[in-house]
Chain A
Amino acid sequence: MQFQLTEDQQMVQKLARDFAEKRLAPSVAERDEKEEFSRELFNEMGEMGLTSICFPEAYGGAEGDVLSYILAVEELSKVDDGIGITLSATVSLCAWPIYAYGTEEQKQKYLVPLVEGEKLGAFGLTEPNAGTDAAAQQTVAVADGDDYILNGSKVFITNGGEAETYVIFAMTDKSKGTRGITAFIVEKDMPGFTFGKKEHKMGIHTSLTNELVFQNVRLPKENMLGKVGEGFKIAMSTLDGGRIGVAAQALGIAQGALDHAIKYSKERVQFGKPIAQNQALAFMMADMATKIDAARLLVYRAAYLKDQGLPYSKEAAMAKLYASDIAMEVTTDAVQVFGGYGYSREYPVERLMRNAKITQIYEGTNQVQRMVISGTILK
């Protein structure tokens, strides 16, 4: 068993770390305050190739592995996890299903620009009345000659409004439940495709979350992803991978919070000594570090399994469940280490604690992760 990153992985990690420190860190507090998504920063990431890491060269990729990509999400998320999830949404939730299920034409047309970072991607499954219960989809796609006509809406869509390429799920046969769901690739400027309200969220302000509205959007049948009725399978396998991305986001948030807590506790002097010298705080930080390391091993293992082409659904669920739970704990403790200053927006741990919460919710709530895990072990 190997517990060391390869030289390639270390170099991608360093690249993402340098970018996060030099380009994201100076403006993250301001973008958070203004609830501002920066397309410019995303484009810079695209130019660097952070969107290309785990795809083959034939589609513009860097031929790296999934773990390298996960390391990049983690590093970005230490500083600005809103940008981390922006990357995860475009790579894991949009580019990946097109890579895995798309035709060669679809890959050339839609995957290549996503991999090259020229376009931003998004994924639309959730609806106002169909969250975990995906079979309750009210978005419908009705065949009309060689086309499909799409009607309905999607909510809480990361990168919504800014993304050019969307993987959208819709009912093509209501009588078949989950087997009646079909996936489509929808382009931003297709007539009838509009955007509803921008969500005002508790955290991850530097990422964009939007409502998608489809009114008689005409989709050529070449835009169907996979086969008729395969949508649910595509959505579930995509979310398996997406969970590793969210787990990496949570891991980055937690590590970022601990790094801040360590630094602050060595500098903050009370009763004549740095507060880090109080065992109560030192032990707290020891626990934080241990939880983070345990989470890291789960996250990296899930990425490794995916790289090896082995089953990883349960392991991805475990990684997401555990990393997000400890991200919430660690960020809460980090705020505690900072005391009153931790509750202030002047210090980054306040933001990290707000942001940690979402990782327990999206890509399947942590209750859903437990359904996935128990479903596998009790089979």
Chain B
Amino acid sequence: MDIVVCVKQVPDTTEVRIDPETNTLIRQGVPSIVNPFDKNAVEAALQLREKYGGKVTILSMGPLQSKEALKECLAMGADEAILLSDRAFGGSDTLATSHALAAGLRKMGKVDIILCGKQAIDGDTAQVGPEIAEHLGITQVTYVSKINTVDEQVIRVEREHEEGYEVIEAQMPVLLTVVKSINEPRYPTVKGTMKANRKEIPVWTVDDVEVDRDALGLKGSPTQVRRIFTPERRVQGEMMQADTAREAATLLVKRLVEIKII
């Protein structure tokens, strides 16, 4: 089974700041990580390989420093990694990104399952995965929380809902986006890390793939960011109920002591 996982290197959003002038993320000095949901996708791919055999390839689009993220996925146990990197890809929104990734996937030839995280923690759009599936004309299932069975024709998965889950059968090849609850991503091993470190990661430029250049970069990006700002934090209040005023007061004081306000 040929499995490709699309991953994104993202700034660790716990430490993110926004440049008010340009409305973009300040990346300098912010540690970069593999998008956490993408790690779930890598783990799902590795588990599929353990069960059905085959090969796991990681694909990413980004600047050359994204190789770090790819190495981390190789260290987890992926077989190969490919980076799409070119100035022509710079400034891409989700649509342009999905065109580039789809072009990379076409070049890779036969792929049975494409896995993506449900969304990236920087943009939170959840659009790239579904867009790739559209460009490639294959079936897609989003928010997958469990992969039940796979054969050459059909995959059966569970799709997470707010109120439960759906069991879905889809035609292969298929693109799945996965949620956090699907698995617990494994830690890379020391041996895997050292092996990954020695592994060549091919870089594909825009000339290496067949793609409409007008669909890439800023030109191919219909999304225009007007403003990014940190929304004001609204802390949700806590409701307390009691039968009498005295009981309510006791409850309140107890809670205030508990959280060290008094």
Contacts and interface: CB of A to CB of B under 8 A. Distances in A.
A53 B190 CA distance: 7
A7 B194 CA distance: 9
B221 interface: no
Nearest to B193: A11
Interface string B189-208: 11111101100000000000
The bracket for how many chain B residues form the interface is: 10 to 19
Nearest to B191: A62
The bracket for how many chain A residues form the interface is: 10 to 19
Interface in A66-88: none
B165 interface: no
A155 interface: no
B189 A49 contact: yes
A15 B191 contact: no
B190 A48 contact: yes
A8 B191 contact: no
Nearest to A63: B194
A63 B193 CA distance: 12
A62 B188 CA distance: 13
Contacts of A293: none
A226 interface: no
B178 to A, nearest CB: 20
Interface in A9-50: 11-12, 15, 18-19, 44, 47-50
Interface in A122-169: none
B52 interface: no
Contacts, number: 41
B187 A52 contact: no
B259 to A, nearest CB: 14
B74 to A, nearest CB: 11
Contacts of B175: none
Contacts of B192: 49
A62 B187 contact: no
B258 to A, nearest CB: 14
A177 interface: no
A47 B77 CA distance: 13
B75 interface: yes
A12 B190 contact: yes
A48 B189 contact: yes
A203 to B, nearest CB: 27
B131 to A, nearest CB: 31
A257 B186 CA distance: 29
B190 A62 contact: yes
A15 B197 CA distance: 13
A64 interface: yes
B194 A8 contact: yes
A7 B193 CA distance: 10
Contacts of B75: 11, 15
A142 B88 CA distance: 78
B197 A49 contact: no
B189 A11 contact: no
Among B71, B190, B191, B192, residue most surrounded by chain A Cβ atoms (within 10 Å): B190
B191 A52 contact: yes
A106 B71 CA distance: 36
Contact of B197 (A8, A19, A50, A52): A8
Contact of B190 (A7, A18, A44, A49): A49
B94 to A, nearest CB: 29
Interface string B153-196: 00000000000000000000000000000000001111111101
A8 B193 CA distance: 8
Interface in B192-233: 192-194, 196-197
A7 B195 CA distance: 12
A173 B197 CA distance: 51
13 contacts: A7-B197, A11-B71, A11-B196, A11-B197, A12-B193, A15-B187, A15-B188, A15-B193, A19-B187, A48-B188, A53-B190, A63-B194, A64-B194
Interface of B: 71, 75, 187-194, 196-197
Q: Which 9 A-B residue pairs are closest in the complex by CB-CB distance?
A: A49-B190, A49-B189, A62-B190, A62-B191, A11-B193, A48-B187, A49-B191, A48-B189, A53-B190
Interface of A: 7-8, 11-12, 15, 18-19, 44, 47-50, 52-53, 62-64
